[in-house]
Structure 1
């Protein structure tokens, strides 16, 4: 039986509530992200490959578990269990951070780095799979950049909250604040999932094989393009992150100061990403299609890495302030990834079957992503042993970015993508929801 068409009220409030939920999801993550990064700043890039290797193995082990949960349980229950589990884990980590100096940054870092990586990838991936489940492609082009804007606002508020609170309450209590934000997001998503006017009239399990995410990587051209783009794009971000870990290890010894430094990087990144979503991203996706939202960031990365190859470890003048070119590269690359690439990717996922949205998408955004981290950090260590300079590594990145731009263009025209839904579908007052 066909589900009832969404009401005009649902057309207006579904994207508003989605944006608010994503605000709390990203605020929760960005409150604890500097806490994680200050641990990597202690050990430097030489230990990052080990962190990422453990994360990759954990992701591979969790892929069939996630596939089983998606296949057997309704999305409302899946959301409730997943988000509640991560909130409880946040509270469980509080005593460990109270005793960080006794435990040691490397030991605590391995466990917490793995956990935060799983937290980020699964919580955010599940959120966007749910969004792709309730909006059609026309609605996605209209509102995904705005929903992402809600997340970007949370990604700005999170670092601001950390900046204000870390000097007052210290590192460990930040985990409690993060857990509260995550539970607020869960409440909004459960309301959306349970409302018949906002959904597709079904909360049935996705069904299918628990291995479907892995199998579809070989059978769907679009998913293969997404996997390749994930490896190439992640390579640029991980390269900059690894080099920044060496910088903080050499220059910032105090854990509170390291937390504040990484917090500032996140704050600038998310502020620029918010501007992109308010100005360029939605216009580009509506006017030229979501595929161009993948191409433009790859070209921006190419230009940033050209600058890094020329300047190396030197500084550039920005608004009268001398800034390390490495910091400019990491902020610019991340800003376009969050402010443009992510909304474009998730808009394209509305044009694939439901099983692909949950299982295939999740496999690409978890196991494939972390496999790329292992490759890049291992490569950085190898280049370092061979005496390759920062400029030399950046030059390699230029070639990777050029290849990413070509793959991105093909991904937007993958043969297995469903046709775009007409832009006129839905009421003038809001986006098209799936009915």
Structure 2
């Protein structure tokens, strides 16, 4: 319960600032996304060895405390910049804040789940990670609701203070969790992970599971980034001011997170417990193949749902991200309980930061190039369907990788066998 509550506040903090980040990309369109993601990728490469140093030399409580405190202070420091957004310019402020918010998301969330993989066994993870993720989905729904309520009343800049307060509450709960776990038999929070600061990069080449996860990150993120780029073009064409763009991105986040919560309540936990975490990787990839195939046939435009005209590109983003957060993420983090402790922190962090943003850079650059060549939404969706098919193949291999430790069966398990 403490873990779920902590993740609730982590995701509340992030989803308050996410539409703030989104309105900046919506102000400039997809042609600026390669610049944004390129800057993020460079920063991630620079931070990877620094994170390796911190993990190797400092105890878990120190790592959590210093990392989260840094981002809390940064949130407060950005407030004056957003007060002066019109004078600074959306593109200039967008590059800086997009880079920072992306680093915030990847490091804060990745560190949270590394900590979870450190304190739960694989059997426990399959039972409770979807419930902890559900707590995060609660925050991911609550954050957009808070933003929707406050953005028209207080504007964009003060939202960052609210986000900082939510992150501070998450940090307090995580420190309490760490202290409680350290007092239990077998708790190793006072032990530093040790090892090389480059271990995250080295293990990518030596451990098959990490290679599969890196490929899955590239392919899966490619689908999400394609949807994000198409939505950025739609937002630029249809929304002229900062408040309406922020509200539009906020509504997308709300719909995404409601879908993710529904999956965690109805399907994800059953799938992980009964059939193993591997299926939690494979099923979303197959859904993406089908969804992108439909978009390729229908092209752009809008679809009437309950009397509302909803852009197909918006539906694409909501469904792909809903499955990513509502099913893929808990499955991935459950699998990381079956690798060594150094891999949980350093290898996992490298895959979920530098590899992720490398994929963003490649996909946004490809989308911009194909747009210049005259490709429309249908052609891009067809290419995305091909990428999603590759993701399904890699997901099948990753979920049953031979270098994973034996799974710990739960009382309600049936045989968790690989698909034929």
Range that drifts further, 310-319 or 233-242: 310-319
Aligned residues: 410
Establish whether residue 212 from structure 1 lines up as the match of residue 199 from structure 2. Answer: yes
Instruction: Report 1:213-292 matches (<5 A).
Output: 213-292=200-279
2:79 aligns with 94
Q: CA deviation digits over 1:114-146, x for unaligned, max 9? A: 000000000000000000000000000000000
Among 324, 332, 340, which residue is 1:353 paired with? 340
CA RMSD of aligned residues (A): 1.0
SS at match of 1:291: helix
1:95-114 equivalences in 2 (<5 Å): 95-114=80-99
| 1:71-82 equivalence runs, <5 A | 71-82=56-67
Aligned-partner SS, 1:405: helix
- Is 1:327 aligned to residue 339 of structure 2? no
Aligned runs of 1:5-404 on 2, under 5 Å?
16-195=1-180, 196-197=182-183, 200-203=186-189, 204-404=191-391
Deviation at 1:310, TM superposition (A): 1.4
1:249 Cα offset (Å): 0.8
Runs of 5+ in structure 2 lacking a partner? 413-420
SS of corresponding position for 1:316: strand
SS in 1 for 2:309: strand
SS of 1:323's equivalent? strand
* Contact 1:26/1:154, CA 8 A, preserved across alignment: yes
Question: Which blocks of at least 5 consecutive residues in structure 1 are unaligned?
Answer: 1-15, 426-435
TM-score between both structures, scaled by the size of structure 1: 0.93
Q: Is the 8 A contact 1:193 1:199 kept in 2?
A: no
CA distance in 2, matches of 1:75, 1:319: 49
Aligned-residue offset at 1:198:
5.6
SS class of match (1:168)? helix
Separation in 1 of the partners of 2:124 and 2:307?
A: 42
8 Å contact kept, 1:217–1:223 = yes
- Equivalent-residue separation in structure 2 for 1:322 and 1:293 (angstroms): 31
Q: What is the alpha-carbon distance in structure 2 between the residues aligned to residue 191 and residue 247 of structure 1?
A: 44
Pairwise CA distance, 1:199: 7.7
Q: Is the 8 A contact 1:134 1:198 kept in 2?
A: no
Deviations 1:44-74 (A, max 9, x none): 0000000000000000000000000000000
Deviations 1:180-226 (A, max 9, x none): 00000000000011113568422211000000000000000000000
Q: TM-score, normalised by structure 2?
A: 0.96
Q: Distance in 2 between matches of 1:198 and 1:144?
A: 20
Q: Distance in 1 between matches of 2:187 and 2:402?
A: 29
1:420 to 377, 382, 407: 407
Report SS of the residue matched to 2:408: coil
Distance change (3 Å), C-alpha of 1:197 and 1:320 = farther
SS at match of 2:277: coil
Question: For the residues of structure 1 that align with 2:231 and 2:269, how far apart are their CA atoms?
Answer: 31
Separation of aligned partners in 2, 1:369 and 1:332 = 19
Query: Partners in 2 of 1:281 and 1:250 — Cα distance?
Result: 36
**C-alpha displacement at 1:304, in angstroms?**
1.2
Residue deviations 1:268-299, cap 9 Å, x none? 00001000000100000011100000001101
Distance 2:64 2:242 in 1: 34
For 1:24 and 1:121, the matched residues in 2 are separated by: 16
